[in-house]
């Protein structure tokens, strides 16, 4: 392997594994805490009845996690949308602007569609809030409130794809949901302490990351020739599924679908040809029984499966091609902070083992470069 490639891949590996050290979280926790204090008594924290969370790519996946935090913890109706979709059709969604909060999520802080969505929401009278990094960002121009995180960490680590920023921003959304739940009466002081402790427990469980990295190295070697993959998840891990599939694609340049656990059985299972690995997110809860249904189909069809679970029953171990036992967390809603790592690791190992740089942009195009006016004139001629 080229020394430069080995160095780049090593930086990303070190970057992801650094999350096993609680000290790596200290800065983002401090930034988020300081941000929340700036508006901890704002009236919207109590009066909001509807939350929309918007983002693109990794930030859309993060938005899906934040949606579940608001629904489950703060008892506030919440919906996550791709930012472009929301910006274009905001009028279809914002029906009571005085009771609506629109949260724009962006790791870079400069996603144009997030700015457009926040601007549209603000013009319609909704409250607006940006969650991003601590830098001078475009999204903040259209947000009344802002939560800062350490989402600049990837830049400092010289890696080319967002990973841990997904979790830093998810944590900011989690903390905001707890704060709003404490203000609207959904949570008492004991409940607030409970949710704080649950994150601390999830953070402590990250001590397994080095061992998990090695486990995924063993598994990925078996699928080095696979041209496709599919990640399945549901509930609190619907966003984990989206981010996992996205990151495998970004890391490897291979096609990776992300599908809801049950929905995959309704048609797309027919793509299974004995070479397509299914990576199934199945923490204790409703996901487990549905995973067993899928494993039955996998055994019948000869489809390889990798199951991430904290309840590895004898039947599950027997039927899954690979079972990755995850640390036990008390509450399923905290599992997204942990279950994303083996998916990242899978993508890293697939690409690294092939001798290529992990997460390099392709065709010279990052998301911001996919722009008609940047490359062509109005008649469709290349500039």
Query: Higher pLDDT residue, 84 or 154?
Result: 84
Given this chain, do its domains 3-187 and 207-353 carry the same CATH topology?
yes
Categorize the per-residue pLDDT at 273 as very low, low, confident or very high, splitting at 50, 70 and 90.
Answer: confident
Instruction: Tell me the per-residue pLDDT of 203-243, one tens digit each, with 9 for 90 and over.
Output: 999 999 999 999 999 999 999 999 999 999 999 999 999 99
Look at residues 242, 237, 233, 255 and name the one whose alpha carbon lies nearest to residue 59.
242
What share of the chain has pLDDT > 90, as a percent? 92
- Mean pLDDT (the chain, rounded): 96
pTM: 0.96
For domain 3-187, which CATH number applies: 3.40.50.10490, 3.40.50.300, 1.20.1440.230, 3.20.20.370?
Answer: 3.40.50.10490
Give, for 11, the enclosing helix (H) or strand (E): helix 3-17
- Could you tell me if residue 109 is left (phi over 0), alpha (psi between -120 and 50 degrees) or otherwise beta? left
**pLDDT, mean of residues 357-376:** 90
pLDDT at 367 over 80: yes
Q: Which top CATH class is 207-353?
A: alpha beta
Whole-number Å distance between alpha carbons of 377 and 371:
11
Give yes or no for a contact between 237 and 339, defined as CB atoms under 8 angstroms apart: yes
Per-domain residue ranges of the chain: 3-187, 207-353
Long-range CB pairs of 329-333 (<8 Å, 24+ gap) are 329/198, 329/201, 329/202, 329/205, 329/283, 330/198, 330/201, 331/198, 332/235, 332/236, 332/283, 332/284, 332/285, 333/68, 333/69, 333/72, 333/73, 333/198, 333/236
Assess whether pLDDT exceeds 90 at residue 173.
yes
Given a cut of 70, is residue 78 above it in pLDDT? yes
Distances (CA, A) of 41 to 31, 45, 188, 235, 284: 18, 7, 16, 31, 37
pLDDT band at 1 (very low <50, low <70, confident <90, very high): low
pLDDT for the residue numbered 94: 98
């Amino acid at each position: 392997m080229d020394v430069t490639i080995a160095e780049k891949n090593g930086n990303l590996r070190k970057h992801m594994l650094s999350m096993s050290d609680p000290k790596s979280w200290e800065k983002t926790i401090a930034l988020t805490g300081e941000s929340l204090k700036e508006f901890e008594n704002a009236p919207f924290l109590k009066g909001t009845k509807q939350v929309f969370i918007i983002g693109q790519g990794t930030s859309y996946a993060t938005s899906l996690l934040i949606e579940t935090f608001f629904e489950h913890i703060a008892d506030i109706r919440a919906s996550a949308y791709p930012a472009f979709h929301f910006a274009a059709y905001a009028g279809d969604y914002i029906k009571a602007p005085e009771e609506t909060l629109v949260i724009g999520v962006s790791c870079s802080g400069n996603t144009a569609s997030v700015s457009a969505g926040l601007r549209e929401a603000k013009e319609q009278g909704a409250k607006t809030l940006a969650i991003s990094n601590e830098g001078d960002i475009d999204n903040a121009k259209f947000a009344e409130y802002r939560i800062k995180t350490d989402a600049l960490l990837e830049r400092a680590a010289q890696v080319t794809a967002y990973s841990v920023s997904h979790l830093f921003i998810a944590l900011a959304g989690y903390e905001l949901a707890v704060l709003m739940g404490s203000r609207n009466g959904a949570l008492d002081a004991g409940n607030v302490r409970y949710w704080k402790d649950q994150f601390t427990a999830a953070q402590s469980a990250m001590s397994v990351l080095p061992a998990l990295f090695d486990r995924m190295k063993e598994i990925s070697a078996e699928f080095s020739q696979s041209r496709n993959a599919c990640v399945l998840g549901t509930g609190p891990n619907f966003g984990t599924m989206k981010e996992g599939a996205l990151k495998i694609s970004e890391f490897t340049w291979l096609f990776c679908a992300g599908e809801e656990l049950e929905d995959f059985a309704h048609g797309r299972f027919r793509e299974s040809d004995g070479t397509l690995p299914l990576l199934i997110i199945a923490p204790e809860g409703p996901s487990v029984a549905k995973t067993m249904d899928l494993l039955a189909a996998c055994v019948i069809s000869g489809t390889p499966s990798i199951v991430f679970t904290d309840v590895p029953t004898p039947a599950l171990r027997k039927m899954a091609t690979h079972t990755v036992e995850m640390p036990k967390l008390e509450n399923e809603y905290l599992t997204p902070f942990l279950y994303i790592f083996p998916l990242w690791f899978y993508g890293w190992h697939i690409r690294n083992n092939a001798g290529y740089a992990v997460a390099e942009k392709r065709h010279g195009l990052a998301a911001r470069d996919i722009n008609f006016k940047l490359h062509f004139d109005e008649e469709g001629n290349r500039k």
